[in-house]
């Protein structure tokens, strides 16, 4: 009886940890993420975001990615977005303000990113954005570490 209870509590704990450390995120051609806010527990070893582009636009015309930055670095990062840097680079140069970056995918594509939680502080203010030129204006959300 007690053993069953312990097993139940342990499986619930595993389930809740899994939910908090790994998040599914998507967008279509409307340039909006389906979530405005992602919460991750500070006890996670890493944050995994599984992104899916549910639209039809090809990468070159309307690709999407997921980039994690500190909220205070938003302007610094988006100023560096440049079509000339190419989709493979996420239209961004290598810069320390970019904490994590997924590949850019076109309609029907999927991409994941993994971020070492040591890079995030509990209670810190973070954002996830798409760095396809122009998308960041509306394609962004808040990431909180709880």
Give the C-alpha separation, 11 to 32, whole Å: 34
Helix, strand, coil % in the chain, rounded to nearest 5: 30, 30, 40
Q: Does 64 engage in binding with Cu ion (CB under 5 A)?
A: yes
Minimum gap (Å) between residue 15 Cβ and Cu ion = 31
Residues 105-144 that bind Cu ion (CB under 5 A): 130, 132, 135, 139
> 86 by DSSP, 3-state: which?
coil
Region for residue 117 given its phi and psi (left: phi exceeds 0; alpha: psi -120 to 50; beta: otherwise): alpha
- Nearest distance from C-beta of residue 106 to Cu ion, angstroms: 10
Task: Return the number of the residue (106 or 124) whose C-beta is nearest Cu ion.
Answer: 106
Q: Is 101 in the site for Cu ion (CB under 5 A)?
A: no
| Residue 91 within binding range of Cu ion, rule CB under 5 A | no
Work out how close the CB of 16 gets to Cu ion at its nearest, in angstroms, rounded to a whole number. Answer: 30
Distance CA 94, CA 72 (A): 18
CB of 20 to Cu ion, least distance (A): 25
Q: Give the footprint of Cu ion on this chain (CB under 5 A).
A: 64, 130, 132, 135, 139
């Amino acid at each position: 009886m007690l053993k069953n209870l312990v097993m139940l509590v342990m499986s619930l704990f595993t389930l809740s940890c899994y939910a908090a450390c790994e998040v599914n995120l998507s967008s279509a051609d409307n340039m909006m993420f389906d979530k405005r806010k992602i919460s991750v527990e500070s006890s996670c070893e890493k944050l995994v975001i599984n992104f899916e582009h549910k639209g039809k636009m090809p990468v070159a015309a309307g690709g999407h990615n997921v980039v994690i930055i500190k909220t205070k670095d938003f302007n610094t990062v988006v100023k560096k977005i440049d079509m000339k840097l190419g989709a493979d680079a996420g239209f961004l140069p290598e810069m320390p303000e970019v904490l994590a970056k997924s590949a850019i995918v076109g309609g029907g594509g999927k991409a994941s990113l993994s971020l070492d939680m040591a890079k995030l502080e509990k209670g810190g203010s973070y954002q996830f954005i798409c760095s396809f030129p122009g998308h960041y204006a509306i394609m962004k959300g808040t990431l909180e570490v709880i």
